[in-house]
Structure 1
Amino acid sequence: MGGLTGTGTGPAAGPGSLAASGDDAGHTVGHGAGSEPGTGPAVKPRSASTAAPSAPRPPGSRRAPSGRGTRRAGAAPSRRKPKQHRSMTTVWAAGTIGLAIVAGGVGGYAAFHRTGTVVHSVDVGNAGSAAFSTTGQMNVLMLGTDSRAGLGHESGAPAATGQADTAVLLHLSADRSNLTAVSIPPNLVTDVPECPVGNAVVKGASGQRFSTVLSGRDPGCAMRLVTQLTGIHVDHFLMVDFAAVQKLTTALGGVEMCLKEPLRDPSTGLSLGAGKQKVAGAQALALVRAEKELPGSSGVPAGGDLARVQVQEQFLAALFRTATSGSTLTDPKKLKALATTAAGVLTVDTPIGSVGALDDLAGQFGKVDEKHVTLAELPVKQNPADSTGRTVVIDQAKSTQLFDVVKQDISLSSGPVAPDPKLVGSKATPHNTRVTVYNGTGAFGASQDVLLWLQNDEGVNRSANGGDSAKRVAKTTLHYAPNQADQARSLAAMMGLPASALVEGTKDVPPLTYMSLTLGADYTAPGTPIAPPTTPPKGLESITADDTSCVG
């Protein structure tokens, strides 16, 4: 590719005379006549519609110093006070995650051999993986429904579907070092895809609440929808009904919670005092379903949705710790009770519908230490089309960043991934960063859009439009000399370039030499990072299962 195998000086024909070629022909070059290339006034946007938007800086650390995930800090308040939605996000997470954790943490499914109980399974066709594997990444969708059939249906009988009150996507890393659980709220408005159900095909529907995905459809449709939302292939599903929280906590002998203040809800009979205590059965169910304002409760005051979320997440952590404790692992009666309970409330896909597969699944989950089990919420925002404030829509930018991190098997419980040595070191100021931008994307105007963004938003006024590259390229690359390394690091930080995009030459170049940036097919928009993110989005709500702090 001509001129891109090394670095070159600024436009050779003199300031202001660089001719753009191909689809970038006629675009303004980023420097003024009669001056050093790039020192003239900033290029003005061609129009309001084509001006590149300012992009946010790379996200900061996920976790606050206390160890609890940061929670929507700085969010702008709405003019009216809509019905809070975040507590709904984790209403069923306790039951769905809890059952999975019991499965993996205690190896309780081995007790199925002794109890003779069976688990109901559903064939979801090609919605998931054709077979169960104990190697590689694993993604399991936990579905919690509002069906009350589980309060009485017999072991092995199919649970009535009901509404999908919540879905929780569990991602188990390939090396089994960490587990990420992302809960999806039932009031999320999204588009349900077309789904085969038996010998029929159910048409897709737009603008639907997530909770309706099981209406006239099977769990395989929920798997397809979650794959559509996240870009992550779902391998298997576990579905539990209304009875899960109540029965699981009873079988475990209760889970220990710590509340800073008393918590009461007269409508459900919930009454918990301050301090450490065990909750089980109906009281545990009332705790995780506490969505309304709780009159007379100083622990969760009216409108205190944030406090409710914290209580529910802490309940999940307590459930995990109890299920994986030595007192559970060594108690045959408790294991038998858990096995019987699981059979009564659990429905799975065919590949994991055997005792052997469930035993193996248990072993995979059981390899993860509690401090590396992270419970997070899907980033959402209020639905602008809903004046009641009762529904939400996905926060596309934040959720994309979250799931990019998940796909890379990066643990949310660990700190940021150590940067590549190429990206470590001093950085040149924007004014002293010199670069010519070439368009190798095949899309009209890409290099000019980046030029406008660099000059008007980032202050890189010593930049130029090189027009089309010799050919289209798949990956964005930045060629620079050893004595331009500080400039390369500066540009990489601005654009979110991965270390693999930086190509260092072997010889130093004169001081006024421009680096060569060629945009590839991986480029999407000015300011949008090209490198896959290594940290979750700023403000992600999450905790880890080893968090024992008091809440309320």
Structure 2
Amino acid sequence: MGRNSVRGEGTRGRVPHARESGWDDEPYGADGTTGADERAVAGEAGAEGASPRATRRRGGGPAGSGGTGPAAAGGRAAARRQAKKSGKRKALRWSAITLSLLILGTAGAGYLYYEHLNGNIRGGARAGGNSGVEKAKPNALGDTPLNILLIGSDSRADEKNIALGGGRNDKNRRPLADVQMLLHISADRENASIISIPRDTVVPIPECRDENATYPATTNRPINESLQRGGPGCTLTTWESLTGVYIDHWMMIDFAGVVAMADEVGGVPVCVKTGVHDRSTRTVKGGSGLKLAEGTHEIKGEQALQWLRTRHAFGSDQNRAKAQHMYMNGMMKQLQKQNAWSDTGRLMGLADTATKALIVSDEIKSVSALFDLSMQLKNVKIDRLTTATVPTMKYPPRPEEWLQLVPESADKMWTMLRDDVALDKNGDKPGAKPKPKPAGPVKPKAKPEAPDS
């Protein structure tokens, strides 16, 4: 929300005068007393020059009489009562002033924090080229699916990323999109799917452009190079051209961002059936350094990054994608477990970390837009979140390095996404009628008799 979105701003009605609310708001005197206080003091002292009418009303004697009779005593008692009432009003007034300052201070701090978060967010153009794909038409309720492309960059542009990812020689190299997942949220927001394409899969990359250059189309390069050919907008355009699915937004994170988010969540649960140690060997160089014993672990920090980058220990890019999907599922479970969408303190911490960690497409480059986007996921149950990797096979020209899609399988998956067909089996089947409830009490089923011996 910006300044103009504050309710009632610019249309503020008349502020009621304080006296209308039942308490005194007389201005302060030079000594800090109010007009009412001064009147009470004057009455108690028998102020010289008071009018006879005022004197009679206070029960005192004539002006200048010294106020020694019963009437004067009554006047002093009345004055004390008046001063006591005035003191209560004064305390109430100070409380109201303090409360007002607290409200204003909190609102100011909230606004400054909001602006701080907005200042964290970096963005870029949604598309890097023209795919010709149009947004899906709304359903009968006016809703459309939501598609978000999630990109993991291998950038070594700063020291944090170099420390985590190695490769100082790659500091000036344009980053590759090592992780690419399409998050599809159904139009009814009841189910979602995450589809991956392995990074070394050769696909057609359309013509793309950024602020510096235009990159010609190519048909013989792996999909992770799309990030080098026009930035994340080009990766989005490549996915749209390949799938025929309109993609609303992209979000990109680098090594340091993954570590920061994993730490903020407090650890993400993952599970391995056998021990894992991804290290260099004589036959296979490299490795992320991940070392885990058999069982379930909550990973965070650099270990989370190692998990997402591990390929050799999992055997293939397909299994690497499965590991990444497990991580995504685990993070969703953690966020729902922590009530991240309703716990204000939790949300503020996540917001600060996420806005620093992510780069997003320009149309969601604000706190309010990102919050609205996160709310689209709030009601998707974990058992309605499906993860899948597009089937691939070896790419004949370079079978040891690159892959290519299995056309029939990929086309079937793209069609399901375009038609907003749920990939899970936990929802109602299209057109299915609700099962009628029994009219009377349900009788327990008879237990089967034991077979004759």
**TM-score, scaled relative to structure 2:** 0.58
Match of 1:265 in 2: 278
Structure 1 pair 309–185 and aligned structure 2 pair: CA distance change class (3 A): closer
Does residue 123 (structure 1) correspond to residue 125 (structure 2)? The answer is yes
Q: Which 10-residue stretch deviates more, 338-347 or 185-194? A: 338-347
Looking at structure 2, the residues matched to 306 and 138 of structure 1 have their Cα atoms a distance apart, in angstroms, of 25
Cα distance in 1 for residues equivalent to 2:201 and 2:144: 30
Structure 2 residue 325 is the aligned partner of structure 1 residue 317: no
Residue among 215, 221, 225 paired with 2:228: 215
Do the aligned partners of residues 262 and 114 (structure 1) sit closer, same or farther apart at CA in structure 2, a change above 3 Å counting? farther
**1:392-407, aligned counterparts within 5 Å?**
392-407=403-418
Query: Alpha carbons of 1:196 and 1:306: their partners in 2 closer, same or farther (altered >3 Å)?
Result: closer
Matches within 5 A, 1:132-531: 135-149=143-157, 152=160, 162-198=175-211, 200-266=213-279, 268-293=288-313, 303=315, 310-326=322-338, 328-329=340-341, 332-387=344-399, 389-414=400-425
Task: Tell me by how many angstroms 1:244 deviates.
Answer: 3.0
Match of 1:549 in 2: none
1: CA distance between counterparts of 2:215 and 2:193? Answer: 31
In 2, Cα distance between the equivalents of 1:172 and 1:144?
Answer: 20
Alignment CA distance shift 1:173-1:211 (3 Å): same
Report deviation, 1:202. Answer: 2.3
> Cα distance, 1:168 vs. partner?
1.0
* Contact 1:112/1:355 (<8 A) preserved: no
Contact 1:329 1:335 (C-alpha < 8 Å) held by counterparts: yes
Shift of 1:194: 1.1
In 1, are the aligned partners of 2:341 and 2:375 still within 8 Å (CA)? no
Q: Which amino acid aligns with 2:353?
A: T
C-alpha spacing 1:398/1:417, structure 2 compared with 1 (3 Å): farther
Cα deviation 1:182-237 (Å, max 9, x = unaligned): 11111011221112323753221220111111214122211111111111112211
- Work out the CA distance in 1 between the residues paired with 2:173 and 2:368: 25
Q: Distance in 1 between matches of 2:319 and 2:203?
A: 27
Check the 8 A contact 1:112/1:339 in 2, yes or no: no
CA contact 1:115–1:336 (8 Å) conserved in 2: no
Answer whether contact 1:146 1:242 (CA < 8 A) is retained: yes
Partners of 1:142 and 1:282 lie apart in 2 by: 20
Unaligned stretches of 5+ in structure 2? Answer: 1-110, 162-171, 281-287, 433-453
Paired AA for residue 362 in structure 1: S
Deviations along 1:99-147, one digit per CA (max 9) or x if unpaired, are xxxxxxxxxxx9972853431111246759999x994111111111101
Higher gyration radius (CA): 2
Letter in 2 for 1:113: Y
- Distance in 2, Cα, partners of 1:220 & 1:307: 27
Unaligned runs of 5+ residues in structure 1 are: 1-109, 154-158, 294-299, 422-552
Residues 177 and 112 (structure 1), Cα distance of their counterparts in 2 relative to 1, 3 Å cut: farther
Specify the SS of the correspondent of 2:360.
strand
For residues 329 and 190 of structure 1, the distance between their equivalents in structure 2, rounded to whole angstroms, comes to 38
Aligned to 1:65: none
More helix by share: 2
| 1:437-487 Cα distance to aligned partner (Å, 9 max, x none) | xxxxxxxxxxxxxxxxxxxxxxxxxxxxxxxxxxxxxxxxxxxxxxxxxxx
User: Counterpart amino acid of 1:139?
Assistant: N
